[in-house]
Amino acid sequence: MRGRIVMDKVQVATARTRRSAVVSVDRVRRARAKGAFVADQRGAVAFEAMIVYPVLVAFLLMPLADLAAASFQFISAKTALRSFGQYVQYYNPLGPDGTVTWRSGLQTTVAGHTIGNLQVICGDAGATCSPGNIAFPKYITFSTTVTLHPIVLRSVLCPSSCTYTLAYSERFQ
């Protein structure tokens, strides 16, 4: 029993010492044979990380962040256009005389996006509704603009301008 207690204390003491302090003679011979730099690689990853991390951030993460921000803005604008199209379904804009009359209080901004260029298309010819064209309204077209603010991908996402116009049409049922 006493021998077991002594052995446990030796194992605990060995476990508490640093790993580099417990070195076998055989390990030292192998280290000398391979070369000191190959055998001792404790700081290699830390040194490489200082070089790799800025490269990853500059060439991978920042362009992905620009692309994600642009995607979120386009998705938000498309969702606002679709929501406005569903909203217009309940407010028929064509008056009895064929003119386009909107109810007062018709919203023109949805989720921060201004809706513009509203046109109601009547009949099968695809012409804008007017007093001369009072056929049944088929669908409505409208649009909104999205302005991007990229940091890295400006030349890719904004070749001429960073403002994009998104058009949408909704068919009346």
- Kindly report, residue by residue over 55-64, the tens digit of the pLDDT: 988 889 999 9
Residue-wise pLDDT for 13-44, tens only, equals: 555 555 555 556 566 565 555 555 555 566 66
User: Are 134 and 97 contacting, i.e. CB atoms less than 8 angstroms apart?
Assistant: yes
Name the residue with tokens 């919203």: 107
User: Are 152 and 66 contacting, i.e. CB atoms less than 8 angstroms apart?
Assistant: yes
In angstroms, the CA 112 to CA 39 distance is 61
In angstroms, the CA 109 to CA 118 distance is 13
**pLDDT confidence of residue 61:** 92
Name the residue with tokens 């949805």: 110
| Mean pLDDT, all residues of the chain | 78
According to DSSP, the residues that pair with 97 across neighbouring strands are none
User: Are 90 and 106 contacting, i.e. CB atoms less than 8 angstroms apart?
Assistant: no
